[in-house]
Structure 1
Amino acid sequence: MSGAPRLVPLIRQFDFAAARLSGRLAGPVMDSGDGTDTRVVPLTDEEYLWEPVADCWSVRLRTRGPGARATLLAGARTGAWGRDAASYPHPWPPPFTTLAWRLSHLTEMLTLRADHTAGTRSLTRDDHPVLGDADGAVAAFAKAADAWREALLSVDEAALDTVGYCTYPHGGDAEEPFVDIAWWVNQELLHHGAEIALLRDLYRERRAGS
C-alpha cells in the first residue's frame, strides 16, 4: 500500500469497513467478523425504501416533495430523486432516517470529500445524484468508497497536518488538519454502516412478532 505512512492504519480500517458494508448490502456473503462467511440476501428496492416508523426522512421522488419536517430535497436538481433535508436549525428531535437516506448520505460524503481532496474541489450537493433504487445506490456507494480511497492514497505526510487541505464545504474540514478528516470519515462509515446493518436485521424480522 502506498501513501502517507501515518494514514496506513486508517486506510486499512476504511477498507475493512467499506468492504463489510458492501457485502452486508449486496452479498452473496459477508465476513461475519470471525473469518467465516455469512450468507446475505441482496438489498431490494422495497427494503431500501422501507420506513419502519412514521415520518421518516428518506429519498423521494421530487414530484412528491419532501417528507414530514423536511423543507427541501437535497441532491442534483436534474435527477428524479432527492434526499429529505432542512436548513438550519435542523428539526429536533432528529427525524428517523431510512436505510436509503443513510446510504445516500454516506455516498455523497465520500464522493464530495474525494473531489475536495484530490479532484476539482468544486462539487456541491447540488451536483450529486440521489438514487431511488437499491442496485444503483449500492453501486454508487462502492464507487464513492473507491474514490475516497484513491484520494487518501494521493496525500503525502505534509498534507496530513495541513488545516483545510480538504475543502469539503459541509463539515469542519476548513478548520481541521487532514489526518483528523480521515479519522472522521472512518467513524462516519463505521457508525452509519452499523445503523444500516441493524436496519437490515429489523427488516428481516419485521413480521416475526406479528
Structure 2
Amino acid sequence: MATTTPPRLLPLLQQFDFGRKRLIDRMTGPVMDSGNGTDVAVGAMTDAEYLWEPAPGCWSLRRRADGPGPGATLLLGAGPWGRDFAPAPHPVPPPLTTIAWRLSHLSEQLALRADHTAGSRSLSRDEYRAAGDAAGAVAAFEAASAAWRAALLAADDTALDTVGHSAYPYGSDPEDPFIETVWWVNQELLHHGAEIALLRDLYRRRAQ
C-alpha cells in the first residue's frame, strides 16, 4: 500500500467511492441518496428484476444449459451461469442488456482489473463466476469494487504514470498510464450504475 495517496488520485478515488456507494444503495435500499443529499426510499432488488428483459432480444445472464440468447454466440464465464457475448464484430445496433448483464460485466471488470494490477495477473473471463441471483450479484460487486479500491490505494505517483501498471488484457490498459485506467474505470462505474438505476425505475413502473 502506498504510504500516502497521491493528491491527483484523491478526486478520482472520492468519485469512485461516491459512485460505488450510490449504486449499492440503489440496489439494496432501504434508502439511497437522491443526488442532493436527500434520502429516498428504495426497495431491495429482486431476482425477477435482476433478470428482467424489458424488450425482445435482450442479452442477459443465462443458465449455461440453456445456451446463449438472441444474437449471442457464447456464454462468458465459469459455473452454471454465463453472460451473453459475441466476439467482434459485435451486433449492430448493440443489444439491450438486463441488470444482470450490466452488473456482472461491471463486477467482472473490477475483479479482473484488480487481479491484473495488484494480484496474480492471471485471472481470465473464462474463470469469472457470475451470480444468477440479485443478492449474490450485489455481494460480488461489493467484493470486486473493494478489491479494485485496494489496488488504487497501493498506487503511488510512479505507478500512476506507469504504462501497463494494469495488465488487464481486455482493454487498452497495457498501453495506458495507470491514471488513465483509473479514470476509465470510474466512467464505467458511473455510466453502468446509471443504466442499472434506470432499469430499476422502468421495472417498478412496468405494470402502471
Deviations 1:141-172 (A, max 9, x none): 01111010000000110111111110000000
What is the deviation of 1:123?
0.4
Unaligned runs of 5+ in 2: none
Q: How high is the TM-score relative to the length of structure 1?
A: 0.96
* Matches of 2:4 and 2:10, distance apart in 1: 8
* Matches of 2:89 and 2:128, distance apart in 1: 23
Matches within 5 A, 1:80-159: 80-159=80-159
Matched with 2:35 is 33
- Between 1:59-68 and 1:125-134, the stretch displaced more is 125-134
Matched with 1:75 is 77
Letter in 1 for 2:21: A
Partner secondary structure for residue 111 of structure 2: helix
Partner secondary structure for residue 60 of structure 1: strand
Q: Which runs of 4+ in 1 moved over 3 A?
A: none
Kept after mapping to 2: 8 A contact 1:4/1:153: no
* Matches of 1:13 and 1:88, distance apart in 2: 32
Kept after mapping to 2: 8 A contact 1:71/1:86: yes
Q: How high is the TM-score relative to the length of structure 2?
A: 0.97
Partner secondary structure for residue 30 of structure 1: strand
Matched with 2:66 is 64
* Matches of 1:6 and 1:192, distance apart in 2: 24
What is the deviation of 1:46?
0.2
Unaligned runs of 5+ in 1: none
What is the deviation of 1:33?
1.2
Partner secondary structure for residue 5 of structure 1: coil
Q: Percent identity?
A: 65
Give the RMSD, CA atoms, in angstroms.
Answer: 1.0
What is the deviation of 1:3?
2.3
Partner secondary structure for residue 83 of structure 1: strand
Letter in 2 for 1:99: I
Partner secondary structure for residue 20 of structure 1: helix
